[in-house]
Amino acid sequence: MNRALRALIFDVDGTLAETEELHRLAFNETFAAFGLDWTWDRACYRGLLAVDGGRQRLATWITVHAAPIAARVDHEAFIDALHRAKTRRYGELVADRGLPLRPGIARLLDEAHAAGLELAIATTTSAVNVEALLAPQFGDGWRRRFAAVVTGSEIAALKPAPDLYAEALRRLRLEADAALAFEDSSNGIRSAQAAGIGVVATPTWYSSARRLPDALITLPHLGDPGCPLPPDLPGAPWVDIACLRAWHACRRIRSRPLRETPPCC
Ligand code: XBP
Ligand code: MG
């Protein structure tokens, strides 16, 4: 018997917003600023997302494609410097261009709050990147919406390890079966499931290069009045708290085939 649903835990990159294109641009502009002739096109970056965490992704790529850099004695410090510069550039790009939340996210956060559910974040990316995304959406008080915000630098192992979700549960003082997770990627779904949490999956083009593990439910997005889910999908026209409570209670797996293109609303 499941506990009642008490909390929703959200991934950030790909789940709250489709951030990966700006992460990719920030990497490429940083490479150019450092005088490096490296370019990650969309297809390449989609494949590289198999490695969670921007710094780890960069280090993995350098090992394979930039042997002279990997051989430098100071290569760890060099990768740190590159990644710090990339984080700065990403923040500037988000501020300059704006990054909309995915359909249904703002609505569901409000509905969850009104229903007395706790909200949390479990993300690989840094606190500064979460701030860059959420402060323009919700104002400087965005942090008060969330009972816990756990970021990659605070735990031992990134997704797909369970650490980020386990730490979120610890801070919420909840057992895994009192929460639902929202994820877009294979590593993210595996991470939440490894912590024992049921997952609502909303993949994007960037996060669906690999077959995703079966989640509790997989949808193209959460739906909204301005961007409803197709009528044949569970939760249509948009996922609300009643849907989430029902899916959480029955824990049934209702997988959908992956979409090859991002939802267009
Ligand atoms: C997605 C990621 C992130 C971003 C880059 O993680 O791996 O690393 O691509 O951000 P999640 P950083 O599964 O938590 O959505 O460069 O700040 O790591
Ligand atoms: Mg993600």
Residue-wise pLDDT tens digits, 151-162? 999 999 999 999
Burial class (CB in 10 A: 0-12, 13-18, 19+), 145: middle
- Quote the tokens at residue 81: 């410097």
- Ligand 1 pocket, mutate which of 52, 87, 165 (most atoms under 8 A from CB): 52
Torsion sign across C-alpha atoms 181, 238, 46, 154: negative
Atom 5 (ligand 1) nearest CA: 54
How large is the average pLDDT for residues 76-80? Answer: 97
Atom 13 (ligand 1) nearest CA: 188
Burial class (CB in 10 A: 0-12, 13-18, 19+), 25: middle
SS3 content of the chain, % helix, strand, coil (to 5): 50, 10, 40
Residue 13 annotated among the catalytic residues of the structure = yes
pLDDT of residue 255: 44
Q: How far is the CA of 71 from the centre of ligand 2 (A)?
A: 31
Which residue from 170, 214, 130, 183 is spatially nearest to 11, judged by alpha carbons?
Answer: 183
Q: How far is the CA of 261 from the centre of ligand 2 (A)?
A: 16
pLDDT of residue 210: 84
How large is the average pLDDT for residues 133-147? Answer: 97
| Ligand 1 touching residue 123 (CB < 6 A) | yes
Average per-residue pLDDT for the chain: 93
- Phi, psi values for residue 256, rounded to 5°: -120, 150
| Ligand 1 touching residue 54 (CB < 6 A) | yes
Instruction: Flag whether pLDDT at 253 surpasses 80.
Output: no
Over the stretch 2-56, which tens digit does the pLDDT of each residue have?
Answer: 689 999 999 999 999 999 999 999 999 999 999 999 999 999 999 999 999 999 9
Which residue, chain included where needed, has tokens 């919420």? 172
Reduced to 3 states, what is the DSSP secondary structure of residue 61? helix
CA 38 from centre of chain: 25
pLDDT of residue 254: 47
How large is the average pLDDT for residues 239-255? Answer: 82
How large is the average pLDDT for residues 250-255? Answer: 56
pLDDT of residue 149: 98
Q: How far is the CA of 4 from the centre of ligand 1 (A)?
A: 31
| Ligand 1 touching residue 202 (CB < 6 A) | no
Instruction: Give dist(CA 5, CA 243) in Å, integer.
Output: 11
pLDDT of residue 257: 43
Instruction: Flag whether pLDDT at 205 surpasses 70.
Output: yes
Instruction: Give dist(CA 236, CA 226) in Å, integer.
Output: 13
Over the stretch 103-126, which tens digit does the pLDDT of each residue have?
Answer: 999 999 999 999 999 999 999 999
pLDDT of residue 258: 43
Instruction: Give dist(CA 44, CA 182) in Å, integer.
Output: 25
Instruction: Flag whether pLDDT at 62 surpasses 90.
Output: yes
Q: How far is the CA of 125 from the centre of ligand 1 (A)?
A: 5
- In this structure, which amino acid lies at residue 239? V
Strand 179-183 to strand 7-10: parallel, antiparallel, or no bridges (unpaired)? parallel
| Ligand 1 atom nearest to 124, measured from its CA | 14
Over the stretch 181-203, which tens digit does the pLDDT of each residue have?
Answer: 999 999 999 999 999 999 999 99
Residue 41 annotated among the catalytic residues of the structure = no
- Phi, psi values for residue 44, rounded to 5°: -60, -45
Instruction: Give dist(CA 28, CA 67) in Å, integer.
Output: 19
**Does pTM surpass 0.75?**
yes
